[in-house]
């Protein structure tokens, strides 16, 4: 089936530099392990999801902050290379750029610690940039690596103009104990669904997507539950899988696809992402989906031929 693009993807979220080390096994508390060389990779959930959608062909605008340092300039340049509109990114001279410390073992499992830096200063000025030019046909993507009040205000700004909102409720601890905001779609992994409680998420969201890693995902819409079967690949690094999925879902919805079609494409994008090392380098392009799964993305929409 062919769908015409009807909107843009606007991502309101974090921008980080990922510092990555590969080890044979993840360290236990108090233990020291020797790893491979340190890799410096562009990241941040927001920036990754923006790049993921742009690589698939969406028109993407990124709203967020970086620090007034070398990492900040590099992060903006990297998003531009992926075709993301970076005019909504501000440079905070009082803060360093956000950074994530990532350790990955031989099976592709990881441990991640985030130092938010400039992301922690996102506020009303950034929300004004989000609101500027936003249209009802746009899809707004938010996560929880920004201050929670900024996230809530961003959701309100999007809904005030009738734009659809995807909330990737990660890290879920930021929303624990709080009511889930009224949104169109919530996307969480299994652990996040357990912490925030599936029934609570379903009350706040029009639809809920729970990702199950190598077991696929489940889509809850009103009284309907749909299982999206996984695509089998050889896993190298799971770091970017969730962001690839969210970006692909946003791309597909903005192109006019149904939610089930969008999550099916998202599952393929997530599966493709685990076949490469690093969150940003692993985000798939149309040729990756064609090569791995015989999925074709037309210039003006999505067509799945597998």
How far is the C-alpha of 84 from the C-alpha of 79, rounded, in Å? Answer: 5
| C-alpha–C-alpha distance, residues 93 and 70, integer Å | 11
Task: Give the 3-state secondary structure of residue 293.
Answer: helix
Q: For residue 58, give the nearest of 121, 130, 8 by alpha carbon.
A: 8
∠ CA 4-226-7, rounded to 5°? 20
Give, in order, the Cα–Cα distances in Å from 250 to each of 11, 22, 41, 139, 262. Answer: 9, 30, 23, 6, 8
Q: What is the 3-state secondary structure (H, E, C) of 94-132?
A: CCCCEEEEEEECCCCCEEEEEECHHHHHCCHHHHHHHHC
Under a CB-based contact definition with an 8 Å cutoff, are residues 83 and 50 in contact?
no
Residues in Cβ contact with 21 at an 8 Å cutoff, skipping those fewer than 6 apart: 35, 36, 37, 38, 39, 102, 103, 104
Q: Which of 105, 243, 288, 294 is catalytic?
A: 243
Residue 92 token pair: 């905070």
β-sheet bridge partners, residue 227: 218
Q: Is 288 a catalytic residue?
A: no
Length of the chain: 306
DSSP notation for 213-281:
GGG-EEEEETTEEEEE-------S--TTHHHHHHHHHHHHHHTT--HHHHHHHHHHHHHHHTTSSSHHH
Catalytic positions, written as ranges: 243
């Amino acid at each position: 089936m062919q769908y015409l693009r009807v909107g843009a993807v606007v991502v309101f979220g974090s921008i980080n530099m990922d510092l990555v080390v590969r080890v044979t096994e993840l360290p236990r508390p108090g233990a020291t392990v020797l790893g491979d060389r340190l890799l410096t990779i562009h990241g941040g959930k927001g920036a990754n999801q923006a790049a993921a959608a742009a690589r698939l062909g969406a028109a993407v605008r990124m709203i967020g902050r970086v620090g007034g340092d070398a990492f900040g300039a590099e992060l903006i340049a990297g998003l531009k290379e992926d075709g993301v509109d970076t005019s909504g990114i501000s440079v905070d001279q009082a803060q360093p750029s956000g950074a994530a410390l990532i350790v990955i073992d031989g099976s592709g499992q990881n441990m991640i610690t985030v130092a938010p830096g400039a992301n922690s200063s996102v506020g009303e000025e950034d929300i004004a940039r989000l609101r500027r030019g936003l249209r009802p046909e746009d899809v707004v993507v938010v996560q929880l690596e920004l201050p929670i009040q900024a996230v809530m205000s961003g959701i309100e700004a999007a809904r005030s103009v009738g734009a659809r909102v995807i909330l990737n409720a990660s890290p879920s601890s930021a929303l624990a104990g709080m009511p889930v905001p009224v949104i169109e779609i919530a996307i969480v992994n299994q652990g996040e669904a357990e912490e925030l409680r599936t029934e609570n998420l379903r009350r706040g969201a029009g639809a809920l997507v729970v990702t199950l890693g190598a077991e696929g995902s489940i889509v809850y819409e009103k009284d309907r539950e749909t299982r999206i079967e996984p695509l089998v690949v050889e896993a190298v690094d799971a770091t970017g899988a969730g962001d690839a999925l969210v970006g692909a879902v946003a791309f597909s919805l903005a192109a006019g696809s149904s939610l089930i079609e969008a999550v099916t494409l998202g599952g393929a994008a997530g599966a493709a992402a685990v076949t490469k090392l690093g969150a940003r380098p692993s985000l798939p392009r149309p040729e990756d989906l064609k090569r791995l799964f015989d999925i074709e993305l037309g210039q003006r929409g999505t067509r799945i031929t597998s």
